[in-house]
Amino acid sequence: MVAGVVGFFYLRDSAMVFRVVSILLGFLMAIAVAWFTTQGQRFYVFCMEASEETKKVVWPTRKETIQTSLLVFAFVVTMALFLWLVDAGLLSAVKLLMNRED
């Protein structure tokens, strides 16, 4: 892949077609090297296993997604109000301790 990117910049004065072809050749060479190496084959097997695992996932229904989203929204609003009250209380306490009145 590095060879393709280097070729792209090396051919900066050439037609864009040659620059794009150099990128594509770099990617094709990278795929070929990965296909014939042990690490590349292990990565391919990993991708296939990951794909099969995603098929086993039980995705939530629309109703469950909406309910969960509303619950998260309610929690965020509640926490925002709580932190606002704590902040206002601490501000009042500091003002009281410093004998400042605004």
Q: Residue 101's pLDDT is what?
A: 62
Model pTM? 0.47
* DSSP one-letter string for 4-61: HHHHHHHTTTS-HHHHHHHHHHHHHHHHHHHHTSHHHHHHHHHHHHHHHHHHH--PPP
Residue 36 domain boundaries: 1-57
Of the chain, the percentage scoring pLDDT greater than 90 comes to 49
2-37 residue pLDDT tens: 777 777 777 778 788 888 888 888 888 888 888 888
Of the chain, the percentage scoring pLDDT greater than 70 comes to 96
Question: 72 and 86 share a domain?
Answer: yes
28-37 residue pLDDT tens: 888 888 888 8
Which of 20, 42, 57 finishes a domain? 57
Question: 51 and 87 share a domain?
Answer: no
Question: 64 and 27 share a domain?
Answer: no
68-88 residue pLDDT tens: 999 999 999 999 999 999 999
